[in-house]
Amino acid sequence: MTIVAAADGSALGNPGPAGWAWYVDDERWAAGGWPRATNNQGELTAVLELLRATADTDEPVHILCDSQYAIKACTEWLAGWKRKGWRKADGKPVMNVEIVKELDAALAGRSVTFEWVRGHVGHEMNEAADVRARGAATAYQRGSDVPTGPGWPGAPAAASTPIAPAPASPPALF
């Protein structure tokens, strides 16, 4: 049976307090974040943490995502970036390269598909992931406890991956 999950990121300011979340159902979801990161970092990390949480399953994973950046990074651009020494077609370094490298490793040997869904239009699973990602970002903004969720049964709890400080200006999309 295929695991169907939504993955989303949120940044209050870009960069700013940020969060990520993945959501399968009310018993299987996780969230986290950072005091300062970008929305793209949240989007990529949501996918990464979902793949980490489900790494010990043999099930295919179908990821619903409202981020074209995250989807294309995992499905179209990653192989070329890797082949070019983690550089884009214009020769500039890949943004968020550490997360992308971790995604490369997490995707290896897995059956993973992506589906773009329009954000903020009532898609139930996407909205659930969005609420949780925004909740994590808001908790960082307020300095309160971050709602991390129950996670995946039997998997270690997700930890917000330390990331490099966000750039002063928003990153390029690709």
Asked about 120 being catalytic, the answer comes back as yes
Q: In this structure, is residue 172 part of a structural domain?
A: no
- Give me the catalytic one of 120, 122, 143, 145: 120
Q: Is residue 62 part of a domain?
A: yes
Task: Evaluate whether residue 162 is within a structural domain.
Answer: no
- The per-residue pLDDT of the chain, averaged, comes to 90
Q: How many domains does the chain have?
A: 1
Residue among 33, 42, 43, 127 flagged as catalytic? 43
Catalytic residue among 32, 130, 135, 151: 130
Q: Which of 9, 19, 42, 135 is catalytic?
A: 9
User: Is the per-residue pLDDT at 167 higher than 90?
Assistant: no
pTM beyond cutoff 0.85: yes
Does position 131 have pLDDT exceeding 90, yes or no? yes
Kindly indicate the confidence band of residue 53, based on its pLDDT and cuts at 50, 70 and 90: very high
Is residue 9 annotated as part of the catalytic site, yes or no?
A: yes
**pLDDT > 80? residue 174:** no
Task: Examine the residue annotation and report whether 145 is marked as an active-site residue of this protein.
Answer: no
In the chain, the percentage of residues whose pLDDT exceeds 70 is 90
Q: Is residue 120 part of a domain?
A: yes
Three-state secondary structure readout of the chain: CCEEEEEEEEECCCCEEEEEEEEEECCEEEEEEEEEECHHHHHHHHHHHHHHHCCCCCCCEEEEECCHHHHHHHHHHHHHHHHCCCECCCCCECCCHHHHHHHHHHHCCCCEEEEECCCCCCCHHHHHHHHHHHHHHHHHHHCCCCCCCCCCCCCCCCCCCCCCCCCCCCCCCC
Predicted pLDDT at 87: 96
Q: What tens digit of pLDDT does each residue of 82-100 get?
A: 999 999 999 999 999 999 9
CATH of the domain at 58: 3.30.420.10
Residue 173, token pair as written in the block: 């999309």
| 164 pLDDT above the threshold of 50 | no
Is position 64 within any domain? Answer: yes
Is residue 169 in some structural domain?
Answer: no
168 located within any domain = no
- The catalytic position among 49, 66, 102, 127 is 66
The answer to whether residue 163 scores a pLDDT higher than 70 is no
Residues spanned by the domain of 36: 3-142
Active site residue 90: no
Is 158 part of a structural domain of the chain?
A: no
Is pLDDT of 72 > 70?
A: yes
pLDDT reported for residue 159: 56
d(CA 95, CA 19) in angstroms, rounded, equals 18
